[in-house]
Structure 1
Amino acid sequence: MSENGSSLTPPSSSLAPPPPNISQYPPLTNWEPPTFTRAAQFRVGATLLLFLFAACSNLALLASVWCGRGRRLSSHLRPLMLSLASADLMMTFVVMPLDAVWNVTVQWYGGNALCKLLCFLKLFSMHASAFILVVISLDRQHAILHPLDALSAHRRNRCMLLLAWSLSLLLASPQLFIFRTIRVESADFIQCASHGSFGHQWQETFYNMFHFITLYVVPLLMMSFCYSRILLHINQQHLQNKAGESHLRRCGTDIIPKARMKTLKMTVVIVLSFVVCWTPYYLLGIWYWFQPDMLQVTPEYIHHALFVFGNLNTCCDPVIYGFYTPSFRADLAACCRRSGSNTSPQSVARLSVRPGQHSGEQDQQAPPPTRL
């Protein structure tokens, strides 16, 4: 079950119980290699469907924020959405294809260098996705609690994003030393695994628990702390408004501007999707680490279904962003119209001109950014 486990099966694929004391270079004489089971076939099919949807939706989100109507986002929020889309694309193009192909081939055919690199990229993308959600939560907390401090938001978010990507790189780097190709001579089987990298079983459990804490527990606690402070602040403002003490309410406007509140709701739903999608998988992982025998009584399809459900989080982010952001939906509609029409390049160029402009005119000024 562990993403970093030393089993000689593909990570979370057939999930047969690993040989006892596998981390201590045991003689694998009576070990039977895993097979491409029916449950694993279902997992591969579901993963490929998620891959297609996640790739298209996240690429569309990246294009919209980078060069479409999403450019109107405020300068401090735009890098956050670009980073979130980039992390989701890493999950899409690294974790999903690796998982699907590895389940089909069962053993490893990519060589030692590719084994180390892909295991590193897999953990790096998972850390980056979780840490960027933390950065978004911290940004929303500061925007709600300190609305007049918008000038320093861009620089602050750049520093937090740099820290998030750097920490992801640092925490994933041990994968380059732990994983390598292992050959089982008796079964003519090669696997990319951490077999023999830990002197004792408790060291492997500690390593897995450490990444569980950094991947899930710490991000969850930090995001919960941020949004708890936001909810407490909003509640206090409402109470002050009822008592006639609010200085933020002017001429019938809301305590929090509608655009900022809409962005807050969007980020809350994005964080909730992360929690809902990954919690069952990580809880099952904890159970496996401390009670490996549970694999003998737990149906195989449950392990596969929970991992696929976790990957669903990569598809949720662009859907949630599109639900709360009309500009993204407008970009998608314009893209569909262009791809579905058979008009000439000249007519497409005329369609892109604003009403009241002649075809030879150029846009002299970009629309002002929307402050969220």
Structure 2
Amino acid sequence: MRDNCTLENGSSTQLYSASDNSSSTPTPMPFNNVTLIIYAIVFIMGFLGNTLAIYVMIRYAKMKTVTNIYILNLAVADELYILGIPFLGTNSVLSYWPYGVFFCKVCMTVDIMSQFASTFCLTLMSIDRFLAVVYPIRSTKWRKLQVAKVFSGLVWVGSFVFALPVTIFSDVQEKFNTCNLSWPEPQDMWSIAFILYTSILSFFGPLVVICLCYLLIVIKVRSAGVRAGRTRRRRSERKVTRMVVIIVLVFVLCWGPFFTANIVNLVQVIPESTTTAVFFFTLVILTYVNSCANPVLYGFLSDNFKQSFQKVLCCHKPNAAVAADNTGARQNANKVNHHPVLTQEWQTVFMLSV
């Protein structure tokens, strides 16, 4: 029977997955006041940031693009993940689960669903960038808002289906009175299978697809860069692609250590101690930091997000010179609208709508 620290579920309300038949009590997380402050800061930042991101994407018409549909679902997943912090913090401070079996199952299910949904949304965003850059014309029939909404719905359905094992086996353990996964016999085999299951489906598998997409994008950009000069549309696509790449990289940096620790723990059992408890706590908090960082990345990397955030926060001041330039641009556009034929280059540019 294995009795060790493990991180089967990223924001599980119990940092350890000790079985009901375990012979010893898990090492509690020390410094409860410190952890409570950390939980509070991460929760406030993540909740406000993702709420703001969700609001501006629903509120402003210019935010309704294919990429932003996936970002909207990513923000919803981050929001759900962040909402688990109060329950995690309460359990950490009290050292027991006070909410009952039903809320234990709900919290654990929502937690793992949000993990799956986040990864699947990032994968869809990467595939969308691949289609936009490598097949800009042929992919227009797939890169539409309605198609993006359908795929987003499938993400949540798939996430719920993949989370069913957690719904079935999560319970308030009698010995420790904590909300965790209670596996049937043989417990070791179930635990190992679940760690591999979640690691492959919610991280390493999608990561392979994401890396392949960006590898093909790099090959395409290098081959096309010599033949074609920059256009306004290409620069816009490049900015969107850069934003998605950075969001993916931050996700890997925040979640990679957590899943790596899970895999390492399968090969070499990590003994329980105060040091390992702090280490595991850090890995879990890092996954929450990812959900806090995403809204910040949207604001810094996307001009549309930045302007929308400024409007919501009442700090957007229209620039007279910019307004004059926009007026002049519209007038110039009206003057040239009488031309009946567009060049092949501009036809291609207009077909590359996001």
Match of 1:167, SS state, is helix
CA 33–88 in structure 1, closer or farther in 2 if over 3 Å, else same: closer
Residue of structure 1 in register with 2:343 after alignment: none
Tell me, yes or no, if structure 1 residue 305 matches structure 2 residue 282. Answer: yes
Partner of 1:199: 186
Equivalent in the alignment of 2:14: 11
Q: Which residue of structure 1 aligns with residue 149 of structure 2?
A: 158
Instruction: Give the equivalent residue in structure 1 for 2:56.
Output: 64
For 2:33 and 2:211, how far apart are their aligned partners in 1? Answer: 37
Q: Distance in 2 between matches of 1:276 and 1:78?
A: 22
Structure 2 residue 72 is matched with structure 1 residue 86:
no
Contiguous gaps of at least 5 residues in structure 2: 1-5, 317-322, 325-351
C-alpha contact (below 8 Å) 1:3/1:11 kept by paired residues? no
Q: CA RMSD in A?
A: 2.8
Per the normalisation by structure 1, the TM-score is 0.76
The 1:337/1:279 distance shift into structure 2, 3 A limit, reads same
Q: Percent identity?
A: 20
Select the residue among 107, 112, 137 that pairs with 1:123.
Answer: 112
The answer to whether structure 1 residue 183 and structure 2 residue 182 are counterparts is no
Conserved? CA contact 2:104–2:179, under 8 Å: yes
Q: Output aligned runs, 1:141-290, within 5 Å.
A: 141-148=130-137, 149-154=139-144, 155-184=146-175, 189-239=176-226, 241=227, 249=228, 253-254=230-231, 257-290=234-267
1:31 pairs with 19, 24, 30, which one? 24
How many residues in Structure 1 have an aligned counterpart in Structure 2? 313
| Contact 1:44/1:100, CA 8 A, preserved across alignment | yes
Structure 1's unaligned 5+ residue stretches are: 242-248, 340-353, 356-369
- 1:74·1:371 contact (CA, 8 Å) conserved in 2? no
1:136 maps to amino acid: M
Instruction: Write the letter of the residue equivalent to 2:205.
Output: V
Q: Which residue of 2 aligns with 1:334?
A: 311
2-structure distance, mates of 1:4, 1:313: 16
Q: Residue 270 of structure 1: CA displacement?
A: 0.4
1:47-103 deviation digits (Å, cap 9, x = unpaired): 2211111111111111111113xx21454233212111111111111x322222221
The alpha carbon displacement at 1:283 in A equals: 1.3
* Aligned 8 A contact 2:298 2:306 in 1: no
